[in-house]
């Protein structure tokens, strides 16, 4: 896995989330996904896809910056800075986080297995 290939995975996820394309997003998510938002809310694959399908969460703007990747043959850890404008039900929010995404390759297919977002400015010892 090269850095360019790792960035392509994250770009595919970013575009699926930004467009609200739950079917494209579903192809990228592992069955065991644990997606921890910067608020501490944890979604499973199913609960995250349901939020996207029902428009309970809509990304109005979404960017990933300062991305770096550490890869092995079948796993890649991607860290980056995320900025987003999100509509959650009737609430508009601007979000800025750092995150760690874990992608695993199984049977030749890469899928997001874990995601942990941390609000920028959060205490880290």
Residues 18-48: tens digit of each pLDDT: 999 999 999 999 999 999 998 889 999 999 9
Pairing of strands 91-106, 109-119: antiparallel
Ranges of beta strands (E only) in 16-56 are: 29-36, 42-44
User: 3-class SS at 12?
Assistant: helix
Strand partners, 111: 104
Tokens of 111: 């899928």
The first and second tokens of residue 75, run together, are 């796993």
Distance CA 94, CA 101 (A): 20
Q: What is the pLDDT of residues 41-92, one digit of tens each?
A: 999 999 999 999 999 999 999 999 999 999 988 999 999 999 999 988 888 9
Mean residue pLDDT of the chain comes to 91
- Give the separation between CA 88 and CA 120, rounded to whole angstroms: 20
Find the distance separating the first CA and the last CA of the chain, reported in whole Å.
Answer: 31
- Both tokens of 85, joined, read 């404008």
Tell which CATH classification among 3.90.470.10, 3.40.630.30, 3.30.460.80, 3.10.450.50 matches the domain 3-119. Answer: 3.10.450.50
* Local structure of residue 120 (DSSP, 8 states): T
The answer to whether the pTM exceeds 0.85 is yes
């Amino acid at each position: 896995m090269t850095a360019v290939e790792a960035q392509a995975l994250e770009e595919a996820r970013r575009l699926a989330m930004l467009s609200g394309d739950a079917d494209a997003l579903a192809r990228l998510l592992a069955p065991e996904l644990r997606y921890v938002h910067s608020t501490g809310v944890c979604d499973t694959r199913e609960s995250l896809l349901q939020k996207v399908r029902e428009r309970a969460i809509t990304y109005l703007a979404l960017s990933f910056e300062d991305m770096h990747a550490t890869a092995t043959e079948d796993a890649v850890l991607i860290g980056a800075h995320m900025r987003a404008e999100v509509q959650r039900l009737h609430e508009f929010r601007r979000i800025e986080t750092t995150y760690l995404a874990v992608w695993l390759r199984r049977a030749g297919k890469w899928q997001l297995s874990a995601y942990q977002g941390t609000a920028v400015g959060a205490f880290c010892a």
